[in-house]
Structure 1
Amino acid sequence: MLLTRRSTLTLAVAAALTLAACGKKEEAAAPGAEASAAAASGNVVKIGFAAPLTGPQAHYGEEYKNGVTLAIEDANAEKPMIGGQAVTFELVAEDDQADPKAATQVAQKFADDKVNGVVGHFNSGTSIPASKIYSDAGIPMVAMATAPAFTQQGFKNTFRSMTSDTQQGSVMGKYVVEKLGAKNIVIVDDRTAYGQGLADEFEKAVKAAGGTVSKREFTNDKATDFAAILTSIKAQNPDIIFFGGADAQSAPMAKQMKRLGIKAPLVSGEMTKTPNFVKLAGKEAEGTIASLAGLPLAQMPKGKDYETRYKARFNTDVATYSPYGYDAARAMIAAMKKADSTDPAKYLPQLAGNAYTDGVTTSNWAYDDKGDLKDGGITVYQVKNGDWVVLETVGGGAPAAAPAASAAQ
């Protein structure tokens, strides 16, 4: 009886293997089978992603993540071969909650999991502490972080996907004095690495251009009531008020400025230049001025095509950060292809060079020796009739798009 059972089992296994083999042949002819085969054989290249995906900054993180997602989908559709083998790129996304402690935990998880590279983190305050962990693990990271300190640590694995606060702050400080005619300027920042860093660079540029910073105040990135600060500022009768921080704070600040009768316009950086700011501030958003790295979407080398494909894929408009997330992921993948290796130590020199010349945001994705982008134009926007419109692009190869506004607007 035992022999009979074993014989029966042997026949059953053989039949199952035959059917499985037939099934594999049919699957090989199906669309996308190369990617499936690569995944099945273990040739999966893990790209970590970290940003705030919950909390008041989740809208930044989700849009950023969408750009990286689209980049990985595009790369996989090209049926990539690296080291003579088909590979599949896989996004491994984590929520760092815009919190430095959570960010270091995410970074350690990525290091333990031996991801091949990281796109992120989003905030400077999370990217800076996480970068030490990635450096120790030898993992390249391309972050959205703009604080100068991020690439001044001496690490060889840290790169940006946007211009630094040094570039943005210096452009805006000069712009408000020379183009808006502002002489008496008040600065407020949220004490984050991003907000304070941007405000510091802005202040330097204002003074260098001959302007005066008559008062500097600070708040935090959780505050929504600025009555005391703004009442104090109103007595200074400033020409403009500059804010370094996110739209969750700049929007209520704009509303409260109008409520207190402050005539000076609010000027800020790219975390204010969002659809969310306009939504939160409502009619009080009018006249707000903000800078953003790079060219306007319509003027980017592949901006119009990206805009169409992004909306088709995610059923929403491009806001601010997703094109930079897309290019960061594609630059990392291009470096792997050029090195013909997914080993971080082998593709890192290609990432530091200029492996990616076909970007959405720029056709010259190249870094200096610190990891800062060389091609760094800044565009200045203003809210008019409930929408962000271009005032001027400074650098980056684009002409001015419109006459500058006056500080009295």
Structure 2
Amino acid sequence: MRLTRNFVVCCGLSAIMGTALADTSVTIGLSGPLTGNQAGSGKDNENGARLAIQDLNAKPLTIGRQKVTLKLDSEDDQGDPKVGVQIAQKLVDSGAIAILGPNNSGVAIPASRVFNGAGVAILPVASNPALTAQGFNNIFRIGASDAQLGGSMADFAKNVLKADTVAVIDDRTAYGEGIATEFLREARQIGLTVVGQDYTNSNAVDFKAILSTLKTKDPDAIFYGGYTAQAGPMVKQMHQIALKAKLMGGDGICSAEMAQLTGELASSVYCAQGGSALDKTETGRAFIKRYKSTYSMEMLVYAANFYDGTMMIAQAMLATNTTTDRTKVRAYLANAQYDGIAGHYAFDSTGNLKGAPTTVYTFRKSQLVPY
């Protein structure tokens, strides 16, 4: 009987210990363009998130006396609003604790309504101010807004490039139109003369008609609201028709892909990214080195922000002692203070990043460098 009792007690303790130490899996969702002409940005974001999950699982996390294994459900929204809404519903239904992305404003705005309805926190880099003007409490932008990016480039044009006249082209996407609008607003406010404004689309490859018209107006600089896939050919065609204006843009053209597409011509390109220059800090330099050694490619734009975003989600889970309660995670992020690789994160009442710094970059020897 003693042996039996001891055996029962031991088995009972083992069961309790087994339950206490049982593994649980938690999914973090990601929505981004993993195929198509913006796939470079989408994969860059995904790579940053995967590095963070690798680090978190190596610790590992323990929440509620359970060992937590994080998984990334990375979904291809193709940069398409309709697909993005479908992806949003899929990630909601999957039980993902929080969402990284979307990358594109045109996707993020409609998708955010789905996520908001389900009470799921999203951490996008999509920059159109309309995203956070909807009155939702689940959006936490981990990059700068168009107002910050576009405005900083207008200031740069006047104060650094010493431009007097500028022209604007945008691709009619929510991102491109949004950042171009903010550039125009600041440009006019600080006294730049806008000599032309034109439009293209996110699939165009021939800009010679637009550029030839702008050449007759002789702008000192052209601001392009759009992405690298169009900006690359645009730079080449500017050179072909001897249009001497500098090309400027936001984070959509601020990546190593621009140099790959244009070679030495990229030296006439200036662009803005949210955040401080990573190579100015020891942790930033270490991240750049690790990224390149892991993926055998250069980091593009927001990999470090997606790394930081993943870490913030994990911090929210730890602080609220939950692996399932989306509401608690969302509420924690609203008041979060986090120092990450790409900078300090804290959000205002609308979900914008407080005091988001911007850095202007150019290209030297085909490398993206802070100006």
Fold shared, TM-score > 0.5 on shorter chain: yes
> 5+ unaligned residues in a row in structure 1: which ranges?
1-20, 22-27, 29-33, 392-409
Which of 1 and 2 has higher RCO (CA within 8 Å, sep 6+)? 2
How many angstroms apart in 1 are the aligned matches of 2:292 and 2:211?
39
1:327 aligned partner: 308
Q: 1:301 to 1:142 in 2, by over 3 A?
A: farther
2:37 aligned partner: 56
How many angstroms apart in 2 are the aligned matches of 1:164 and 1:381?
17
Structure 1 contact 178–209 (Cα < 8 Å) conserved: no
Structure 2 contact 256–298 (Cα < 8 Å) conserved: no
Q: 1:308 to 1:286 in 2, by over 3 A?
A: closer
* Alignment pair present for 1:255 and 2:256: no
1:273 aligned partner: 254
Residue 73 of structure 1 and its aligned partner are, at CA, apart by: 1.1
2:145 aligned partner: 164
Identify the match of residue 265 of structure 2 among 284, 303, 307.
284
2:327 aligned partner: 345
1:302 aligned partner: 283
Structure 2 contact 222–245 (Cα < 8 Å) conserved: yes
Identify the match of residue 211 of structure 1 among 182, 192, 197.
192
Structure 2 contact 361–370 (Cα < 8 Å) conserved: yes
**Matched residue type, 2:370:** V
**Matched residue type, 1:187:** V
How many angstroms apart in 2 are the aligned matches of 1:323 and 1:81?
24
1:98 aligned partner: 79
Structure 1-normalised TM-score?
0.83
2:53 aligned partner: 72
1:377 aligned partner: 357
1:237 aligned partner: 218
How many angstroms apart in 2 are the aligned matches of 1:134 and 1:390?
35
Structure 2-normalised TM-score?
0.92
How many angstroms apart in 2 are the aligned matches of 1:300 and 1:151?
30
Instruction: Indicate the SS of the match to 1:325.
Output: helix
**Matched residue type, 1:368:** D
> 5+ unaligned residues in a row in structure 2: which ranges?
1-10, 12-17
How many angstroms apart in 2 are the aligned matches of 1:78 and 1:89?
11
Instruction: Indicate the SS of the match to 2:338.
Output: coil
Q: List structure 1 runs of 4+ shifted beyond 3 angstroms.
A: none
Matches within 5 A, 1:181-192: 181-192=162-173
Instruction: Indicate the SS of the match to 2:245.
Output: coil
1:396 aligned partner: none
1:305-332 superposed Cα distances (whole Å, 9 cap, x missing partner): 2123222322223222200111111111
Matches within 5 A, 1:216-231: 216-231=197-212
Residue 388 of structure 1 and its aligned partner are, at CA, apart by: 2.4
**Matched residue type, 1:90:** K
Instruction: Indicate the SS of the match to 2:351.
Output: coil
2:347 aligned partner: 367
Identify the match of residue 366 of structure 2 among 370, 386, 391.
386
Residue 113 of structure 1 and its aligned partner are, at CA, apart by: 1.6
How many angstroms apart in 2 are the aligned matches of 1:113 and 1:275?
34
Instruction: Indicate the SS of the match to 1:50.
Output: strand
1:118-142 superposed Cα distances (whole Å, 9 cap, x missing partner): 1111111111110000000111110
Q: What is the Cα-based RMSD across aligned positions, in Å?
A: 1.8
Structure 1 contact 119–325 (Cα < 8 Å) conserved: yes
Instruction: Indicate the SS of the match to 1:154.
Output: coil
Task: Give the percent of matched residue pairs that are identical in Structure 1 and Structure 2.
Answer: 38
Residue 383 of structure 1 and its aligned partner are, at CA, apart by: 2.0
How many angstroms apart in 2 are the aligned matches of 1:144 and 1:188?
22
How many angstroms apart in 1 are the aligned matches of 2:311 and 2:76?
21
Residue 338 of structure 1 and its aligned partner are, at CA, apart by: 1.1
Structure 1 contact 255–285 (Cα < 8 Å) conserved: no
How many angstroms apart in 2 are the aligned matches of 1:288 and 1:234?
17
Residue 178 of structure 1 and its aligned partner are, at CA, apart by: 2.2
How many angstroms apart in 1 are the aligned matches of 2:282 and 2:334?
22
**Matched residue type, 1:174:** D
Structure 1 contact 330–356 (Cα < 8 Å) conserved: no
**Matched residue type, 1:240:** A
How many angstroms apart in 1 are the aligned matches of 2:235 and 2:134?
35
1:193 aligned partner: 174
2:91 aligned partner: 110
1:158-187 superposed Cα distances (whole Å, 9 cap, x missing partner): 111101011111111122112221111100
Residue 87 of structure 1 and its aligned partner are, at CA, apart by: 1.2
Q: 1:347 to 1:370 in 2, by over 3 A?
A: same
How many angstroms apart in 1 are the aligned matches of 2:193 and 2:41?
33
Structure 1 contact 241–266 (Cα < 8 Å) conserved: yes
- Count how many residue pairs are aligned between Structure 1 and Structure 2: 354
